Structure 1
Amino acid sequence: MRALVTGAGGFLGQHLARALVASGHEVRAMVRPGGSRGELGGGVEVVAGDATRPDDLARAVRGCPLVFHLAGVRRAAVREEFLRVNAEGTRLALEACLAEGAAAQRFVLAGSLAAAGPSREGKREEDPLQPAEWYGESKAEAERIALSYAGRLPVAVARPPRIIGPGDRENLLFFRIVARGLLLELSGPPRPLSWIDVRDCARGFLALAERPEAPGRAFFLASAERTDLSGLQQAVAEALGIRPRRVRLPAGALRAAALVADLLTRATGRRLPLNRKLARQLLAPGWTCEVSRARDLLGFEARIPLADSVRDSCEAYRAAGWV
């Protein structure tokens, strides 16, 4: 059937659009006016639109019984911008579906582990949402809004953790650091991380769209294999075939560097890879989640191990000249 993907120009959006085409769906990809269309591949109808504009959303959802709402912002200067785009944008997308009679089959929201908040032990879906920063707060509010429509639309929420894979820019900084022969170790105790390869994540989104057990629920989509920052960097070093020098980084130094990076970003308009949001994420006690609900109810399990995901990412980065 015809599926709409908002935010289709982004990292996950591109992979999801291609996965939908490979599964036999017709795909309409909504991208920002003037924004990158990335590598959406053939068989995709691309439409320009702003996911915070009701008229643009109405045109986009028309005739699409499947809607994947991925559009959002990961970085913003003020809390209100996160809420305007991530939370209220979700409400507008749901209202557009109701008005157009779309999403009769499924509305899948791209949530985030950030909505649940940091955890060393592993968050479960039934745990209260405890976001630790503005982005997570906006994703938690988006999730509450989406599930409040569950009586009128078949809504499901995907909560991926850190997403890795070919084409990813969010984790590119760590790959570049290792490529320069360094491996950063943060001071303090280990900080475990849940993660998922982007191709597995796209499969998880399809499961939420197809399985009758999904509506009305949120699901963590993650690999059962956990890592931490050092483990991720070590996997990069092995993929690149280098032996990096370990550098101990105090928490205070990371915070100071992130503050300087944010000030430079504001002064120059150039977004630097380091920022205070990333620093807070790295210094949290952990970002982990349990995977049993998706496994037991949807039959979904991530298949790609960390070593393979990192190797494929390195190959794509090298081909693009990014490392």
Structure 2
Amino acid sequence: MSSYWKIRLLCAVLVAVALVGCHATKPLRRDQDDFRQALLEMETNQIFNNLVRAKRGLPIIHVDYDRISGVVTQTGNAQIGGSYTDIVGGAVTRVLSPSVSGKQDNQLGVTGNPVRDKPEVYVSYLQYLALGDGLVFTTFAPPPGSAHLCTETCDGFYWVPTHRTGDFFKLSMDVMGLRGKLLASPPYFEITLKGVSKVEPGVRVLMQNEKLPLGTQHEMIVELSEPLARNDSGTAAVSIDGFIVPVLFSAAPGIAIGEKTSKLKIDYTYGNDMDSGEIPITPQKFIDGLRGQTVKFYASRFQPEPPKQDVLLGQIRDELNALRFETIRQGNDQGR
């Protein structure tokens, strides 16, 4: 074969490789995007299915999809077909036809491993179900717009209400990546202020146009609707008369620090410097505004104890029993 046709064949091979190579990246990236979307759907379905199984009292298993790999295999071919004859003294040429072909295979794979050594993953499921209305069961489809996720089973519909969307997202983050402490507790106590039972000195009724002097002080004993597990000083933000007021609490007198208490003390000082603990609300308005408020109490020394696992399991059992009774009741209603 002459040098001319050798050069043409070499060029054809180079073109074949170039054509295949320049199209390799985009299809693989597109395939990975599609696969990532499919992987997210797999995770969503897995979490939702585990919730449904747990709600029905069936065992669950969480699988970690921990490795995604992509492989691109490229092949390129170039050839010249036909015949060529070179006769000295009188050339006879028959045109040869070059052909170029290329092939690319994209392969994506995922590796899944059952989670068996991270109990906090399964505790996250239990904590979500302990919300009570995190997963709802009905024998009929949920009303339009009321379900974040929904699936139909042989006995009815299981669905996540839209107002639990944030809780479901938190569950997803907990079981997929944020695997922190087992049975973690919030950094505050949630308390409801029943009202002020004692004020010293007593609150004086102001005369008309009389202004309360800045720096006026009162010691107030606040009763709690439910006992606080630890008697301690701390802070809480209360909303009164349009103000968000940071309030400094002291430990209840006569009760040892760390003991259970049903009251706390507030050292009230009237003034505008809230950074130093002053309260820009008159005593009577302050007392009236405290009544019935539920606040987050950040204690100085203690944090709430994490919920016991058997307590969570007990709540799940109660939910299962309630679900069974509701199923029976709905069946009776339909049979009438």
TM range (shorter): under 0.3
Structure (1/2) with the larger helix percentage: 1
Structure (1/2) with the larger strand percentage: 2
Q: Which has the higher contact order (CA 8 A, sep 6+)?
A: 1
TM-score, length of structure 1 as denominator length: 0.21
TM-score, length of structure 2 as denominator length: 0.21
- Whose radius of gyration is greater, 1 or 2? 2
